[in-house]
Structure 1
Amino acid sequence: MTTFPELDGKVKELKEFDDTKVGVRGLLDSGVAKVPRIFIRPPESHDPEANKTTGDDGSNSPLPQVPTIDLQGFDIPSRRAEIVDEISQALGTWGFFQMVNHGIPTGVLDNLLRSTREFHEQPEETRMEFYSRDPTRKVKYYSTGDLYLTKVAQWKDTLSCDFDDTSKIDLESFPDICRNEIGDYLNRLNGLKNLLAELLSEALGLSRDHLASLECFDIQRLLCHYYPPCPEPDLTIGIMKHSDPYILTILLQDDIGGLQILHKNRWLDVTPVEGSLLVNAGDLLQLITNDKFTSVEHRVIAKRVGPRRSVACFIYPRNKNQSKPYGPVKELLSDKNPQIYRETSFNEYVRYYASKGLDGVKALPHFHLTSADS
């Protein structure tokens, strides 16, 4: 049997880091001034040139920006039609858009970002109580979700909260320091989620209740990320290149920056907009829309400044619907737009996605319809 001593040693170092249960923040607290080798990312030889800042013609023309959509007036028919068209264009071309005037007060967003920082900057022994990789645990803290699969640690720590029904959230299970802030945000986000389900349905040319009727548009997970300042940011990564396996992601981020999306084979910075929320399509949305909306790859780079804080909310089917088959919406199919993907359940899709890890290769092509399926 062939062994790889260097890899075996790295796995040992990964486990030693994980066993500390204090994350990247704990490394910095211990005085680490250099990035440990478990955080050094492999060369992304198949990636476009990182941080490219010139136009396609080599000029210094400004790079394009993720569209910002103002939701104010969504209940006025003429304005709603404009918003629906903007969403259709954004998700079809970019896979992302930023929302302003979305109805959630800036104070609620600021409180959530503040409490996220406070959780991650608590004394180590307090954080350690929540540290776990148990998939059945609803509320847990960890560093790098797929640590042992990718064999590379990423420069971030995460508080993860899972729930099956946001109307029956057990706030007592959340850490004291951010319990009320998470609950307040989720209560308000529910209404915005329902509005987005309507607007996206209309952007597809469907009745406004269509996506909701598919029973796939539920808030299921909230991740509170913390990216400490990095002493050698060029050697590591905050989150590796990936697309999301869900229907939709709604992201709150602070003003530090670092999120990049892959647009037309180029990495572009997503400039934070004060008071905004960022929306991106997930793989399952691209599948059910038959490529009408696109799930775009993105990453977070490490930075010397920080900490960067972000809160990602994932929308996908509730537990009882996760074995239900989902395929391209039949109303979107025609001779000119034939079915691209086979039906799959959320559970099947996520199992395949998780088995790959964040390896820089999209999972969605694995579910392309073959001649044997048709």
Structure 2
Amino acid sequence: MELLSDCPVHASVPDKYVLPPEKRPSLLNDEPSSDVAIPVIDLHSADDCRRQLVAAEIIKASKGFGIFQVVNHGVAEDVVQGFREAAAGFFAMPAEDKLPYRSDDLSKHFRVSSSTPYDRNGDRYWLDYLKINCHPVTDEHVREWPDKPGSFRSSLAEYSTAVHELAQTLLRLIAEGLGLDGGFFAGDLSGGSTQMNVNYYPPCPDPSLTLGLLPHCDRHLLTVLSQGDVAGLQARHGGRWLLVRPVPGAFVVNLGHQMEIITNGLLASVEHRAVTNTDAVRLSVVTLIMPKMECRIGPAPEMVNEATGPAKFKEFEFSEFIKAYSAAAASREDVLHYFRIHR
């Protein structure tokens, strides 16, 4: 298995990365700069009397976009940059140092691989990635994390703990904004082992021919993303792809399939993809908050009302959803069709 980060700079896109014409991206800036922008929410004021207003802003952004950015979120910049630098250092290591961690074994707590397993046609995407079980930080997890670069383990532990706390704050605000108890999403709904994807997109000689990551919705509850200062994330909005422009110090937050199902469709999961560029490495750090595998999920009784209508989804065990998501090759409509109640 060849990693893109092991190879010299390509003068052209190798054939195996060239997507069929119908899957290739349009121009990166396909939304006018004066048009729609992803909402940016200041979380600092959530600590005072404006908490209800902040919660309402989050719900409005979630309904309108399924994605938003947060600033003044409480995660220190040196914590964010410390892990981003360690992760970049891992990809920059010689191929032989990464070789012991190359694997497609899903049971591993740390592994590095390339492209994505979620395309049923075997198309390849322009990225390498780390898959990490990162929270709670246990000795079992840490033993499988690499000891090079030297700061990797300590910076990952610090970053994952801080981002997990931020995610719990966001879930409390979402619950309050929906009129639910603040602890509604605590426990089994968000108590699964937190996963992290670190996606590495090297410069691409022709971004019009390939994608960094295929269009998909996240299978989990909530995603918290550090995308750095290099653009590349696009979200589906109003039938078009909207570029999520980097905001200094911000985290991007998007809703997953489980949030859509639990809220009976009120808050929809957002389809998103990654495009490439010719000039710079792009590194994104994606933290995925998920239910426990045995958790029973369905529309919350409080969310089946006049506003949302009758229950739109059947109840299931989260482990069942994971299998269906893989079988549907991450297709938003295919996986939701399986769990939707058809009347």
- Shorter-chain TM-score bucket reads over 0.9
How far the C-alpha of 1:219 sits from its partner, in A, is 5.2
The question of 1:71 aligning with 2:49 is answered no
Identity of aligned residues (%): 30
Q: Deviations over 1:47-95 (max 9, x none)?
A: 99654645xxxxx67121110010003221x310111000010111100
Q: Distance in 1 between matches of 2:114 and 2:319?
A: 24
The question of 1:317 aligning with 2:288 is answered no
The question of 1:198 aligning with 2:178 is answered no
1:1-374 paired onto structure 2 within 5 Å: 18=1, 20=2, 23-27=3-7, 29=8, 32-44=10-22, 51=28, 53=30, 62-76=34-48, 78-146=49-117, 149-163=120-134, 165-166=136-137, 170-176=141-147, 177=149, 178-218=152-192, 220-318=194-292, 322-336=293-307, 337-358=309-330, 361-371=333-343
How far the C-alpha of 1:147 sits from its partner, in A, is 6.8
Q: Distance in 1 between matches of 2:172 and 2:282?
A: 32
Amino acid at match of 1:154: Y
Contact in 1 for aligned 2:116/2:125 (Cα 8 Å): no
How far the C-alpha of 1:335 sits from its partner, in A, is 4.5
Residue 248 to residue 147, structure 1, CA distance change in 2 (3 Å): closer
Q: Distance in 1 between matches of 2:54 and 2:234?
A: 24
Q: Distance in 2 between matches of 1:361 and 1:370?
A: 14
Contact in 2 for aligned 1:240/1:360 (Cα 8 Å): no
Q: Deviations over 1:84-119 (max 9, x none)?
A: 000010111100010101101111111121111110
Contact in 1 for aligned 2:225/2:251 (Cα 8 Å): yes
Q: Distance in 2 between matches of 1:342 and 1:74?
A: 34
Contact in 2 for aligned 1:163/1:169 (Cα 8 Å): no
Amino acid at match of 2:47: D
Amino acid at match of 2:73: H
Q: Stretches of 4+ moved more than 6 A in 1?
A: none
Q: Distance in 2 between matches of 1:217 and 1:205?
A: 21
Amino acid at match of 1:339: A
Normalised by the length of structure 1, the TM-score is 0.85
Residue 147 to residue 39, structure 1, CA distance change in 2 (3 Å): farther
How far the C-alpha of 1:179 sits from its partner, in A, is 1.4
What's the secondary structure of 2:326's corresponding residue?
A: helix
Normalised by the length of structure 2, the TM-score is 0.92
Contact in 2 for aligned 1:139/1:174 (Cα 8 Å): yes
Q: Distance in 2 between matches of 1:196 and 1:347?
A: 24
Greater Rg by CA: 1
Residue 188 to residue 52, structure 1, CA distance change in 2 (3 Å): closer
Moved more, 213-222 or 152-161: 213-222
How far the C-alpha of 1:312 sits from its partner, in A, is 0.2
The alignment's C-alpha RMSD in Å is 2.2
Q: Which runs of no fewer than 5 residues in structure 1 stay unpaired?
A: 1-17, 55-59
Aligned to 1:8: none
How far the C-alpha of 1:131 sits from its partner, in A, is 0.2
Contact in 1 for aligned 2:291/2:318 (Cα 8 Å): yes
How far the C-alpha of 1:180 sits from its partner, in A, is 1.5
What's the secondary structure of 1:221's corresponding residue?
A: strand
